Structure 1
């Protein structure tokens, strides 16, 4: 049975990107998308009552910065309402106090934006392993079963990159693009990181496909057509 996921994010492009990530993962399906806390609660309550089209929500991917409520407060309302769903925080918020509060509220994973699809996939695979080990019905869990479930949740995982790409270089490319105020081309990034233009472009295109960067044509430059890249 698939794990049904509710995506909660106020940025439509980001929400759709995360929903598409979910659709690409075997064993997961999108149950709904909400742009604010009020809509998320409505969908979750409909799910609890078994009302279509959002019945059986198992997991919430929750952004912290919503227009009507902070993600932590929404999580508190979910818990207070007795809604039995797991929550994974997907946010750019790095505040340690928010991370600690997330742990206390039972948020099972905390994923910091931006990230690649491979990182997203590895985290959700960890969650699926955690969920599977606790499918015990009314049985009592042994200590080893509890240990195994939490180990699968915290496993680092090894996300797969496109052939020929390395994680350290990918991290450097992400950091360099984010550090530039203006969009950068493959040539400019290659010069900055001492990479060949074609190599820089491979990393940039990988990140576009992962939803981390966006690409646009750069007009007014002589010679071959060129694209520029910026963080989403």
Structure 2
């Protein structure tokens, strides 16, 4: 497990052989506060070299977002070689591979989370937030942690994005649709009224979802200047 200073962003390496996918994942990372992409690799050997160079420079990478199907090495082989070289960098697998044997191998090589393509930004962001909480909890346990402290740390890796975990009345599919709409139109800010008109829902409903995204730091909320009467707020995707 990497040691992360809470005062600085978590440095991320994106590994995917498709440039468009790598760029999309990098853009997602940069939308999550506290994370920053520092490099991208299109194959396993390049990823290993980037990790080694970063380690040698004294600025090690904290987290690898690792595709399983690379042109030169399987993602599991990349993870094994990392561990064999003494690199304890944390890994989240991001892949379309659902084979149970691959999943078991991923766990055995220290991959802490497994994210199946395709996915929404909301699910992606949750994985990163899980990782942040896990690291924070592990670092706060001290050198001789109790069983309860370890249980609490590992519980941070469990996803809670099922619809039952949302506030009452919110639906995961609708939340993801609004989140993706804001992302697709990230240059523009929307009031609850404008979003409601664009997506065919009531203003009250739109506002509830927008507030939830803002509270979770997945959207930016700011007052709209120049409006009379009651203050109006607008929301936009984080960039």
**TM-score band w.r.t. shorter chain:** 0.5 to 0.7
Distance 2:29 2:35 in 1: 6
Identify unmatched segments of 5+ residues in structure 1. 173-196, 200-232
Q: SS of the counterpart of 2:157?
A: helix
Q: Output the TM-score relative to the length of structure 1.
A: 0.67
> Is 1:34–2:41 an aligned residue pair?
yes
Residue 9 of structure 2: which of 2, 20, 32 is its match?
A: 2
Greater RCO (Cα-Cα under 8 Å, separation 6 or more): 2
Per-residue CA deviation, residues 169-205 of structure 1 (Å, 9 max, x unaligned), is: 6899xxxxxxxxxxxxxxxxxxxxxxxx965xxxxxx
- Whether 2:161 is the aligned partner of 1:154: answer no
Secondary structure at the counterpart of residue 38 of structure 1:
helix
1:49 maps onto 2:56 in alignment: yes
Q: Quick one: structure 1 residues 11 and 165, their matched pair in 2 at CA, closer, same or farther if it must change by over 3 Å?
A: farther
Runs (4+) of structure 1 moved beyond 3 Å? Answer: 157-161, 168-172
Matched, 1:14 2:17: no
Tell me the residue number matched to 1:194: none
CA deviation vs aligned residue, 1:3-54 (integer Å, no higher than 9, x gap): 1110000000000100111111111111210000111000000111126xxx
Aligned to 1:104: 108
Alignment of 1:207-222 (within 5 A): none
Does the 8 A contact of 1:88 with 1:108 survive in 2? yes
Partner of 1:76: 80
Query: Is the contact between residue 161 and residue 172 of structure 2 (CA under 8 Å) also seen in structure 1?
Result: no
Instruction: Please tell me the root mean square deviation across aligned C-alpha atoms, in Å.
Output: 2.8
Q: Which residue of structure 1 aligns with residue 224 of structure 2?
A: none
- State the secondary structure of the residue aligned to 2:156: helix
- Number of the residue aligned with 2:149: 145
Query: Given the alignment, which residue of 155, 167, 174 partners 2:172?
Result: 167
Q: 1:140 deviation in Å?
A: 1.6
- What runs of 5+ residues in structure 2 fail to find an aligned partner? 1-7, 178-197, 201-239
**1:61 corresponding residue in structure 2:** 65
- C-alpha displacement at 1:133, in angstroms? 0.8
Per the alignment, in what secondary structure is the counterpart of residue 29 of structure 1? strand
User: Hey, what's the Cα distance between the residues in 2 that align with 1:47 and 1:140?
Assistant: 30
Report how far residue 105 of structure 1 moved: 1.1
Aligned positions, number:
171
Rounded to whole Å, the distance in 1 between the matches of 2:174 and 2:30 is: 28
